[in-house]
Amino acid sequence: MCTALLFEKHICLEHELLTHDLQASQEKIIMRLNHRYPVIPIIINGIVQLVQWGNRTNQTMPKTAYCRLESIQAGKWQWLRPQKVEIAVCAGFSKGVWFQVRHGLWGILVYDSKNIPYCYLLMRPSTHYYTIMTGAHRMPLLINQEL
């Protein structure tokens, strides 16, 4: 599983960094899934926004950080009316290995009843290369990139 993401600080809006207490970070921000409040940068209408990565506390939403591609294709997320979004990261971390992400990752964006957005990473079965590289059996869905 992909448990951390790396993204550039300069792509995010200043006030968003301030809101999520990330303004003191280095040029590149490492967001781990076990962060107190994990957020990831997604592109909505051409603007980068920091959105909560997955869900740990809300009982009404799926308690996970990932969304299987097969389950979305089977319509299991239909009740949440998911939107496909681009996640603007430059590297992902899986089982101790940082791998390059050239054009970003695909994710889904859903809203709860209070209109709070949550982003889940779209996951697919690992390719042969990714399995050997990381040892993980599922990998994120990369945009225009083969791994």
Binding mask 10-39 for other proteins (x = CB under 8 A): ------------------x-----------
Question: Binding other proteins by CB under 8 A: which of 32, 63, 84, 102?
Answer: 102
Selected range binding other proteins among 16-24, 56-64, 66-74, 98-106, rule: CB under 8 A? 98-106
Mind giving me the DSSP string for 3-55?
A: EEEEEEGGGS-HHHHHHTT-TTS-SEEEEETTSSS-EEEEEETTEEEEEEES-
Rounded Cα gap, residues 63 and 73, in angstroms: 19
User: Which runs of consecutive H residues, i.e. helices, occur in the chain?
Assistant: 14-19, 69-73, 128-134
Q: Binding-site residue total for other proteins (CB under 8 A)? A: 18
Nearer to other proteins among residue 19 and residue 145 (C-beta): 145
Residues that bind other proteins in the complex, under the rule CB under 8 A: 8, 28, 90-91, 96-100, 102, 127-130, 132-133, 146-147
